[in-house]
Structure 1
């Protein structure tokens, strides 16, 4: 059975069970025969894009089946064996293929759906009773890198289940597996890395209490594995969360503790990221001189950064990301004349292929423009941010636009320039949280 047909069949059966739809009912809705639907659901026949679209509509699947049938390049690269039955070896090869193709805007949704179906290779090791070796840990590290890049294109509402399952499987391997001391240390490192990622996607999907727990668990795992830089990153991530939704004074303490504790263990990119969160925590507390001083430190360090050598948790800290954070800090400190040029320049290099980040950063530009009284430019920027937030499957992006809507309504009233944005975003008026964006 081709891997593509097997994945489509699995998803089709799951949707039919979830909707409580029989083959007879589905046949009546789609005008396909019951025997043909049986063949699709068993994987005996591959779907066509047109078939997938019709089944998507009948099952209200939101494009899940269409995605699995409409990626010929992915299907060809994932072809597995000629086996008559789906075997463990096929599943293992599929798990490997999930990390073989770099996520991009066109394939990220398909990769995410298929990741949910494939069994984590960690489970194979346990079920086979094998001693966990270096190759297994290397494989898990590759999967974490892939998950991080998937999250660049698919919001936390989609990636939360993927990362949570990966963390559970890896924790089981750590708890129940047999391994050497060196492998134990590397397993602790990957658990810490997964905890930090799990915290981020939980935060992005609105699960704040869960995010806190993941960050704390990651810090403990990193300390146990003697990975000081990763422990500092988990603590720094917690400070960023608290700066948004918790005690801002505590956020400063956490951010500074993370930097002091991790600066000697982290390379330049890691140091810059830890400092970025210190600057943000000070800005949220209104401490302008301290925030500016720390931004200066970031500018001094960043020329030494090498993203190819950066840890997996800091690969995304490009020069544009550094500039965006500086613009956000100045917006938070109500310095629009400093914020607007920085944000406009950096955001111009972001495309709609990263809807969550672009939406969040546009929201900060819109806020800075609002502070400057540029209502017409606010409207254009805010409407684009709103459109991208709806695409991003990120509750955090939606909450940020809802927060921006409240600011616009308070500052501009019913001014004609912003009236259309207020109308388009009216359904967000009940959204709470106001959690600020960014990583």
Structure 2
């Protein structure tokens, strides 16, 4: 007797459909795509009980669930992908990775984005996330290539893909993730199709590394526009691809971004676990600048937990590590983490601490000032905006509402040029604090009104 498909059942319950309604939806979509499929409610019941439907049903179900729930769902998520482990989790074998990435990117490109921004419901945390990432520490298993046919690209073509990815990263830093996210996902989908073929080891590793970088970018852009569950899934794919490429250092970078995402959504302890996992997986192979970057992730997580002593230690260690960094030791993709990046993260950490202890706000200011002075404002417009928001938060915590209101006028024109919901996420608690102070101060009331206007942009 087949074992019940818990993954499919879990997703099915979220849709609110009855078995009959799902059967009819599959029939309608299948006919629209030219397939002769006509399941009834008893067939849907058997799928939930563990029967594995043949294609195209898994693809049809994934498309329907994606549209219904407003986030990408692939056959692998439903426990129906080829080679899917029990429960729909992504395995660390090459064939399962390629199939799952194809399914997920296809679903992501297909769904219509309606009322989905800001959701964190699909985020994996705790033991679920730990189990999902545990294979990062294991040796790469030698398994069969996903296809026998030989690939037709070489180093020149991969170099072009890498150059395009660098351009996308540049655009992300300047204008945020909203404008180009779908283009990046489309490029990633094309990359996964290339991975179906067999390549010489050197080409294959480079192709997986390039795919990891694109998946890392897709995850970061998804995080930037509030698609947190989607972002985490892309980060997970990026980690898997980095492992297939044998690039532990790129995996460290992926885990650091996952850690920052966790602090952003209010899960700082998960962030600390991710940083620890990054260090265990990389061992002594990462450079001082990478260690400093991980230290700033730790500092922000400890700040969210209100532990000033550990923030001091983490920031101090990060500064010391960065001072020992040797030019050329860090990989090229860490170029964003310069002195301005270090200062910006330190400032954000102390500003976060000050939310619980206003007396600590003064510690944030010199770091933020340094970031604003050193940052390339054109190339890193979004990070510069984050620095301004951090300084705005310091002023509000210090009770300098009139100065904060003047700063809002400085932030307002910049905010409209950046396609990033993270900026709104960081402004929203400042607006709440200003509204709480409004009854005691006319300056605070004006500030609250200005911040509400900023959030409405």
Q: Which TM-score band applies after superposition, normalised by the shorter structure?
A: 0.5 to 0.7
User: Is residue 372 of structure 1 aligned with residue 398 of structure 2?
Assistant: yes
What's the CA shift for 1:424?
A: 3.4
Alignment of 1:390-429 (within 5 A): 390-413=416-439, 415-427=441-453
TM value normalised by structure 1: 0.64
User: Is residue 356 of structure 1 aligned with residue 382 of structure 2?
Assistant: yes
- Unaligned ranges ≥5, structure 1: 1-128, 432-439
Q: 2:261 aligns with which of 230, 234, 241?
A: 241
- 2-structure distance, mates of 1:144, 1:429: 31
The answer to whether the 8 Å contact 1:155/1:356 transfers is yes
Cα distance change, pair 376–344 in 1 and its aligned pair in 2 (3 A): farther
The answer to whether the 8 Å contact 1:358/1:388 transfers is no
Alignment of 1:167-206 (within 5 A): 167-175=188-196, 177-206=197-226
What's the CA shift for 1:308?
A: 5.6
Q: 2:363 aligns with which of 338, 345, 366?
A: 338
TM value normalised by structure 2: 0.61
The answer to whether the 8 Å contact 1:239/1:251 transfers is yes
- Unaligned ranges ≥5, structure 2: 1-149, 355-359
Alignment of 1:33-182 (within 5 A): 131-175=152-196, 177-182=197-202
What's the CA shift for 1:267?
A: 2.3
Corresponding residue for residue 298 of structure 1 = 318
Deviation per residue, 1:149-194 (Å, 9 max, x gap):
111212111021221112111111112x342111111111111111
Aligned residues: 304
The answer to whether the 8 Å contact 2:248/2:281 transfers is yes
Alignment of 1:228-267 (within 5 A): 228-262=248-282, 264-267=284-287
Cα distance change, pair 142–376 in 1 and its aligned pair in 2 (3 A): same
The answer to whether the 8 Å contact 1:218/1:231 transfers is yes
What's the CA shift for 1:398?
A: 2.3
What's the CA shift for 1:266?
A: 2.1
Q: Which runs of 4+ in 1 moved over 6 A?
A: none
Corresponding residue for residue 56 of structure 2 = none
User: Is residue 274 of structure 1 aligned with residue 294 of structure 2?
Assistant: yes
Structure 2 counterpart SS, 1:266: coil
Structure 2 counterpart SS, 1:425: helix
CA RMSD of aligned residues (A): 2.5
What's the CA shift for 1:429?
A: 5.9
The answer to whether the 8 Å contact 1:239/1:252 transfers is yes
